[in-house]
Structures are given as C-alpha cells and as structure tokens.
Amino acid sequence: MRTASGVEGTGMDVLVLIDDLDELIRNAKPVPLTDQVRVDKDQIYEALDQMRATIPDEIKNARWIVKERTDMLAQAKREADRLLEEARAFEARLMSPGEIAKESERAAEDILSEAGARERTIRLGAEDYADGTLDTLEENLSKFRAAVERGRKGVAANAAADRDR
C-alpha cells in the first residue's frame, strides 16, 4: 500500500489514502460463490490509521486559513484607522478656513474610501479562499467516510464468510 507522505499538500494526502483503500478492496480476492471479497484486516487498519493521522492536519490547515483571514482583516482595519488618523492630523494642521479645509476633507474622504475598498477586497478574497479550502476539506471528509463504510462492509462480509466456514 502506498503512503501519502510523498504527496505535496494535505488535501492530496487524504485523497491518496482513500484511493489506496478503494484499490485494496477492489483488488481483494473474491470469496467463491459470493459477491464478497476477502481483505487483509491489517491492511485496512493501516489505511484507517493513516487517514486518522492525516485528517487532523487538514483541520489544522483550515484553522490556519481562518486565522490568516482574521489577521488580514485586522491589518486592513488598522491601515484604514491609520490613514484616517493621518487625514485628521493633516486637517488639524491646516486650521485655515475656506478652500484648504474643504480640500483636506475631500482628501480624507478619498483616503477613507480607498481604505474601505482595500479592506473589502482583502476580506472578500480571504473569505473566498477559506470557503474553497473548507469545501475541499468537506469533500475529502465525505470521501473518507464513504471509504471507511466500504471498508467496514468488506470486513464484516469477510468475518461473516469466515464464521460460515
């Protein structure tokens, strides 16, 4: 049985392990006069152990993505606050009435608008990335469950066949 340790990225690790488990069951020796197969229990347990070891890495990866998204949003907020403070400081230094004050207000509004647009772009990008990664994780978990269920059915069928002998 292959191991997923040589494959880049944890997303592929689970898929490789599921494929290995599926291949193990597909290539198992058939039990004569039945539609059941005989699988090596130790190989099934080894595949399940590898999957159990890989899934926490994928969850950790998803948590990291969410943390990165939160950090990016906080950084964008800090940048917007900094720009706003600079604009207010600039406006306070001018202190002259009339057109100069109006110009500084327009500049401050432009800075705030730009900061808001940047924050929104960063936030939406981070949310899309996190959502995509969580979708991949959800898909991998579904495949993992299906493979485990097929493995359990195969083991149960083999156990039943062994008892009938």
User: pLDDT tens digits for the chain (165 residues)?
Assistant: 554 444 444 445 778 888 888 999 888 898 888 888 898 889 888 888 888 888 777 788 888 888 888 898 889 889 888 988 988 887 776 666 666 778 888 999 999 999 999 999 988 998 999 899 899 999 989 999 998 999 899 888 888 887 877
* Domain boundary assignment for the chain: 4-164
- The pLDDT value recorded for residue 3 is 47
Scored b (16 or more CB within 10 A) or e, 114-125 reads ebeeebeebeee
- The pLDDT value recorded for residue 109 is 93
Give the model confidence (pLDDT) of 1-31 as tens digits.
554 444 444 445 778 888 888 999 888 898 8
- The pLDDT value recorded for residue 12 is 52
Tokens encoding 102: 């109006």
Give the separation between CA 79 and CA 92, rounded to whole angstroms: 20
- The pLDDT value recorded for residue 8 is 42
Cβ neighbour number for residue 89 with a 10 Å cutoff: 9
